[in-house]
Amino acid sequence: MIRRTRPVAGAIALLAALTAGVAFPAGAAADEIRGDRAPKVDLVLDVSGSMRAKDIDGQSRMAAAKQAFNEVLDATPEEVQLGIRTLGADYPGDDRKEGCKDTAQLYPVGPLDRTEAKTAVATLVPTGWTPIGPALLQAADDLDGGDGSKRIVLISDGEDTCAPLDPCEVAREIAAKGIGLTIDTLGLVPSAKLSRQLSCIAEATGGTYTSIEHQDELTDRVNELVDRAAEPVVTPVAVEGAGSCDTAPELRSGLYTDRQEFGQQRWYRVDLPAGQELRASVSVAADRAVRPDYGILMRAVTIHGREIVRGEATGNGRTDVLSTGLRHPKPELDDDSDEPSTETVCLGVTTSFSADAGVKTTPGLPLELTVDVVDGPDNASDVASFGLGRGWWLLGALIVTGFLAGLVWGWLSRWRVAVWRTN
């Protein structure tokens, strides 16, 4: 079953980029995106012998991957520099030492020639070993240079066969270099061992793992990850939430990232001046295998513990990002008011994720928090329950329209029955 990702982080990044108020001439921006800041993606495909198995929609795993790649190449945004690397594509023998060197750049990372890339993909034949660790090291080199986002998308149907070069340790080594490279992994067949290894690789760099069983799922997921690489990048600020509001870090408007352990509660503080409105949202990514039926709760409370407003969401295992948010306005104060002009709001984030035995619980799940303090409405009552605000009048109009439409339809139905009985 595929675990689809909502493009929450990308939407937040885009919003932040738009609200930053920085304007560039269209031509200059395009040139910059195509130059040093162009996003780069390296698709790393397992072409080992096991890819001959025919268990994906009646076709071989290799055929499904080729079809998916062709569709992805057609849909790749112009600004993305894309490359393709293989593992296990060339050496058919039994010499493990040689088999573990079998990784090659099928198409170099750069401006995409779709015809040339498709021709290269068409030549692939399932052949040899599964050297995931060496392939990741080489893929990181493929993406070297430039200031744009960098992403490796690894597609494999089996675990690495070249230990002791542990691919999880390779991924951690890549992450430790601080080059901003994300590794997303896709497993082509349900397997506990494969899931653990690919989840570990993705977790090390803040990427995602997805289990794939159908060709259209593979196409959709790879397209989604390539598109994500092309989205404007806003670097979140690392912050560490506290166990209570008293010791929580103070946040201003911005994008923040944290790690939250399973079942943990994290607290943050925001100062909200009179006449301003706090808008906050949180997203938690399940970057490893978790049990279904989980939830996330975000609460805004006073420093004395009184709850002001909350937002919550639940998941069932079909998504790997869960998000919720809330809004809280602080009205303008009268001149003779005794209330403080600034209110301290405590933001608490609680999750109910759990995992089976053997799944690592540390580091915690990646958490992304957006805080926005903006001018509030003219009247606090304008922000009504359920976030409808001034949209209540529209809701009322829709209710009245539906009621009248129901009356008319009922009258017409009775008239038609009466005519039918008469005839």
Q: How far apart are CA 306 and CA 60, in angstroms?
A: 59
- pLDDT tier at 267, thresholds 50, 70, 90: very high
Domain boundary among 186, 213, 230: 230
Does 323 share its domain with 203? no
Give the type of residue at 203.
Answer: E
Give the type of residue at 239.
Answer: V
How would you label 53-77 residue by residue, b for 16+ Cβ within 10 Å and e otherwise? eeebeeeebbbbbbbbbbbbbeebe
Domain assignment of residue 204, yes or no: yes
pLDDT, mean of residues 418-422: 72
Question: Residue 190 corresponds to which tokens in the numbers above?
Answer: 């349900």
Does 195 share its domain with 56? yes
Does 243 share its domain with 223? no
Does 223 share its domain with 242? no
Q: Is the pLDDT of residue 324 over 50?
A: yes
Check: CB of residue 309 under 8 Å from CB of residue 328.
yes
pLDDT tens, position by position, 279-319:
999 988 877 778 888 889 999 999 999 999 999 988 776 55
Contacts of 57 (CB under 8 A, 6+ apart): 64, 214, 215
- Element of type H or E holding 310: strand 307-315
Domain assignment of residue 148, yes or no: yes
Q: How far is CA 107 from the centre of its chain?
A: 26
Domain assignment of residue 244, yes or no: yes
Q: What percent of the chain has pLDDT over 90?
A: 47
Domain boundary among 230, 252, 276: 230
Domain assignment of residue 378, yes or no: yes
Does 189 share its domain with 256? no
pLDDT at 389: 44
Output the domain CATH number for residue 336.
2.60.120.380
What total number of domains does the chain contain?
2
Domain assignment of residue 402, yes or no: no
Domain assignment of residue 70, yes or no: yes
Q: Report angle CA 205, 207, 209 to the nearest 5 degrees.
A: 130
Check: CB of residue 154 under 8 Å from CB of residue 58.
no
Domain assignment of residue 399, yes or no: no
Does 217 share its domain with 259? no
Question: Residue 91 corresponds to which tokens in the numbers above?
Answer: 């050496």
pLDDT tens, position by position, 37-81:
899 999 999 999 999 999 999 999 999 999 999 999 999 999 999
Q: Which domain holds residue 308?
A: 237-382
Does 312 share its domain with 169? no
pLDDT, mean of residues 176-201: 86
Q: How far apart are CA 24 and CA 151, in angstroms?
A: 26
pLDDT at 365: 85
Question: Residue 18 corresponds to which tokens in the numbers above?
Answer: 């738009």
Q: Is the pLDDT of residue 96 over 60?
A: yes
Omega of the bond prior to 126 within 30 degrees of 0, cis? no
Domain boundary among 230, 249, 281: 230
How would you label 99-136 residue by residue, b for 16+ Cβ within 10 Å and e otherwise? bbebbebbbebeebeeeebeebbeebebbbbbbbbbbb
H/E/C letters for each residue in 152-182?
EEEEECCCCCCCCCCHHHHHHHHHHCCCCEE
Q: How far apart are CA 183 and CA 197, in angstroms?
A: 13
Domain assignment of residue 403, yes or no: no
Does 75 share its domain with 223? yes
Does 112 share its domain with 256? no
Does 158 share its domain with 280? no
pLDDT, mean of residues 103-109: 96
| Cα–Cα distance list, 5 to 49, 186, 211, 285, 315 (Å) | 30, 13, 12, 9, 12
Output the domain CATH number for residue 215.
3.40.50.410
Please tell me the least confidently modeled range out of 27-36, 68-77, 177-186, 414-423. Answer: 27-36
Please tell me the least confidently modeled range out of 29-38, 163-172, 197-206, 400-409. Answer: 29-38
In angstroms, what is the C-alpha Rg of the chain? Answer: 26
Does 290 share its domain with 193? no
pLDDT, mean of residues 355-361: 81
What residues form DSSP beta bridges with 295? 314
Does 114 share its domain with 262? no
